[in-house]
């Protein structure tokens, strides 16, 4: 299955470059889960071009050509830090909703899902370069502990989503959409020294799921 993967933006000021980047470990994790990662260029939906919709066809043409089976929004960058990425990810979510495609948001990706659904973020302490237990509030297998690399958490669960796991301090660590095959995880499955089989299994199950609309 082809998974459209958005990319972080790294700025190299001394070279005058803004680079799209993707952790090689994330690509390895996607391959481990039986999928083919397809990076999405952020320049197809640059903010200077206006909102990325039907009247701005570059990314739409890319999607119609590639025909991804799923969407993944990874970590890196805070919301608002790279407007071209924000525009790209909002269009990817709209496309995934239109076709009821599976989507996974990882860390910042889950934050983008929440913001796109009208939610907001709040600062959180003790969640950078840390590890904590996971308290599942939904059925199924979950990792016992997860890594943590974020300064912001969801202030509340956005509309049309339900909480599926929390951290020890009560902050939201995972959520799923009520009707679409979408999930958000605040941890990074690709940053584990060895990939956790449960994370891989959950993503495979998500790829095989379909909307109940």
Any catalytic annotation for residue 150?
no
Of 84, 89, 183, 190, which one is the catalytic site residue? 190
Terminal-residue alpha carbon distance, the chain: 22
Tell me how far apart the alpha carbons of residues 30 and 27 are, in angstroms, rounded to a whole number: 5
Of 52, 89, 107, 177, which one is the catalytic site residue? 107
Any catalytic annotation for residue 107?
yes
Any catalytic annotation for residue 190?
yes
Of 87, 127, 150, 188, which one is the catalytic site residue? 188
- By annotation, the residues acting in catalysis are 107, 188, 190
């Amino acid at each position: 299955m082809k998974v459209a993967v958005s990319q972080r933006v790294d700025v190299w000021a001394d070279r005058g470059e803004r680079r799209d980047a993707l952790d090689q470990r994330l690509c390895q994790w996607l391959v481990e889960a039986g999928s083919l990662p397809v990076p999405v260029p952020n320049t197809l939906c640059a903010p200077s071009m206006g909102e990325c919709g039907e009247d701005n066809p570059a990314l739409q043409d890319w999607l119609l050509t590639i025909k991804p089976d799923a969407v993944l929004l990874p970590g890196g960058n805070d919301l608002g830090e790279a407007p071209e990425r924000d525009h790209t990810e909002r269009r990817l979510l709209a496309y995934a909703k239109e076709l009821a495609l599976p989507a996974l948001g990882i860390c910042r990706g889950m934050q983008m899902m929440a913001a796109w659904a009208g939610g907001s973020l709040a600062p959180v302490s003790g969640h950078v370069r840390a590890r904590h237990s996971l308290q599942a509030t939904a059925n199924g297998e979950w990792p016992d502990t997860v890594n943590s690399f974020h300064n912001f958490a969801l202030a509340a669960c956005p509309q049309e989503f339900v909480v599926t796991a929390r951290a020890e301090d009560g902050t939201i660590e995972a959520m799923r959409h009520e009707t679409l095959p979408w999930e958000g995880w605040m941890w990074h499955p690709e940053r584990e020294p060895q990939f956790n089989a449960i994370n891989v299994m959950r993503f495979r199950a998500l790829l095989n799921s379909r909307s109940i609309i």
